[in-house]
Chains A and B, each alone.
Chain A
Amino acid sequence: SQTIHQWPATLVQPVGSPLSLECTVEGTSNPNLYWYRQAAGRGLQLLFYSVGIGQISSEVPQNLSASRPQDRQFILSSKKLLLSDSGFYLCAWRADGGEQYFGPGTRLTVT
């Protein structure tokens, strides 16, 4: 069965520091992968998605970037964090039926 991992689970970073969040998927090959952000008390906002290695689509121009160095690995990065980058970051993969399955998430607080 498929499993999706995210780490770290929680992160507190100062403004201006770099960021790297990692997501890996097991049990499936060449999945479509997604990064979402959820602000407190809000719905999910799609940030990036990838249909294959090295293929990244950006949905919202911002302070973040994404990379897919391996088939089942998706990384979210920033060179300099802003206060507005605080939130709950979720990685997901897409099944054949169109539904997406999410990882446990990373709660990021920028101070």
Chain B
Amino acid sequence: AQKITQTQPGMFVQEKEAVTLDCTYDTSDQSYGLFWYKQPSSGEMIFLIYQGSYDEQNATEGRYSLNFQKARKSANLVISASQLGDSAMYFCAMSPPENTDKLIFGTGTRLQVFP
């Protein structure tokens, strides 16, 4: 069965610095999708970035980039130039190939950005 692991329950970063949030996944499939979501205190889940398992280039979206290492089964999120508004919970998720409708979520990492 597929599984997402986020081992960092909490992370601190100073404003304007970069931070990496870890995500590892477990699957025997060759085709899958990886996603990162942000959940601020309001509760809404905000889609940040997507990486397909066959994508050769790491995905980037503005200040977000996904460090995809397929052999190590890791999909770490890198946030550059952190801002106070980046303080939130961050969830990594995966869609298995047999059911692309399903997203399997990790337990999340709480990021706190301080001035």
Contact = CB atoms under 8 A, between A and B. Distances in A.
Interface of A: 32, 34, 42-46, 49, 51, 57, 59, 88, 90, 92, 94, 97-105, 107
Interface stretch (B12-20, B70-78, B79-87, B94-102): B94-102
A111 to B, nearest CB: 20
Nearest to B107: A43
B44 A49 contact: no
Q: Is the interface of A mostly helix, strand, loop or mixed?
A: strand
A97 B108 contact: no
A42 B42 CA distance: 15
B44 A99 contact: no
Contacts of B45: 44, 90, 92, 102
A102 B44 CA distance: 7
A83 B42 CA distance: 23
Nearest to A51: B101
A104 B85 CA distance: 18
7 contacts: A34-B103, A43-B4, A44-B105, A59-B102, A92-B45, A100-B47, A104-B44
